[in-house]
Amino acid sequence: MPVAEYCCTVLDCPDPEALARFYAGVLGGEVKEGDGEEWYNLNAPGGHRISFQRVPDHRPPEWPRADRNSQQAHLDLLVTDIEAAQAEVLALGATPLDLDDDGGERDFRVYADPAGHPFCLCRA
């Protein structure tokens, strides 16, 4: 018998409502206010939940770095058309961190969300 049941992933950020809406644009789902303006939840399709917590002095992780303030966690998001998905996340406010500049095909691409958290679009 497990000790616990998975509930959600929580991301610190300066503006939880805005970041929840960014991920709703990427993943779909419904944004719900959790605890005043300090906490928002995204109830994504498939029963998954991502929560967003206000941290006024939030410093985004730096990618790629192995020392202090490195990538502490990231989301892998499966997509069927990586080119179309890239255009959409960029339009929603993502920043490319590791685009393939040599024209080669890779199975993933790395971006930062509007609060600076890295996430990957991965070929399904």
Rank 33-37, 47-51, 56-60, 61-65 by mean pLDDT and report only the highest.
47-51
| Two structure tokens written together for 34 | 């959790």
* Percent of the chain topping pLDDT 90: 44
Q: Which stretch of DSSP H or E encloses residue 21? A: helix 16-27
Q: Which stretch of DSSP H or E encloses residue 32? A: strand 30-33
DSSP state of 102: T
Domains in the chain, CATH or no CATH each: 9-56+66-123 (3.10.180.10)
pLDDT score at 102: 52
Going by their DSSP bridges, the two strands 118-123 and 75-79 should be labelled as parallel
- How wide is the angle at C-alpha 113 spanned by C-alphas 52 and 74, nearest 5°? 75
pLDDT, tens digit, 9 for 90 and up, residues 76-86: 898 999 999 99
